[in-house]
Amino acid sequence: MKKTLVFIHGLESTSQGNKAQYFRKSFPEMIIEDYTGNLETRMQKLRRILKGKNNLVLVGSSYGGLMAAQFALEEESRVQKLILLAPALDIEGFEKAVVKKLHMPVILYHGTKDEVVNPYAV
């Protein structure tokens, strides 16, 4: 089955940011959209975009990592792999321990000198 690749940018980024441009060039079929507003507004848009799609590989950067993890928790059977780039999982109200209960591969990339998202909070 064909995988559906999805990149979810961070809070202050866009679909035109450096990571998005890299992924667009490397994976032209990747779904890359803009997200604005609070977490629930962003999640509603993500759910709308991914409605009916399966075999998802979600790549989330910073706040987009939080969104990807939240979606995977809600729709685990549809997500094949979760790739988190310096995910902002230390947001109040999100229980990051539940990510450990996911039954799909979860790949975490995080620099130890990150000044925006504390790597030790993940």
pLDDT by residue for the chain (122 residues), tens digit each?
A: 799 999 999 999 999 999 999 999 999 999 999 999 999 999 999 999 999 999 999 999 999 999 999 999 999 999 999 999 988 887 766 665 566 677 888 888 766 665 555 555 55
Query: What dihedral do alpha carbons 105, 23, 8, 58 form, nearest 10°?
Result: -20
Q: Which domain holds residue 36?
A: 4-54+73-113
Is 62 within the bounds of a domain?
no
Is 24 within the bounds of a domain?
yes
Is 63 within the bounds of a domain?
no
Is 61 within the bounds of a domain?
no
Alpha carbons 51 and 12: distance in angstroms, whole number: 25
The bridge status of strand 106-109 relative to strand 31-32 is unpaired
Is 66 within the bounds of a domain?
no
Is 41 within the bounds of a domain?
yes
pLDDT at 83: 95
pLDDT at 64: 96
pTM score of the predicted model: 0.87
> Total structural domains in the chain?
1
Is 67 within the bounds of a domain?
no
pLDDT at 102: 79
Is 43 within the bounds of a domain?
yes
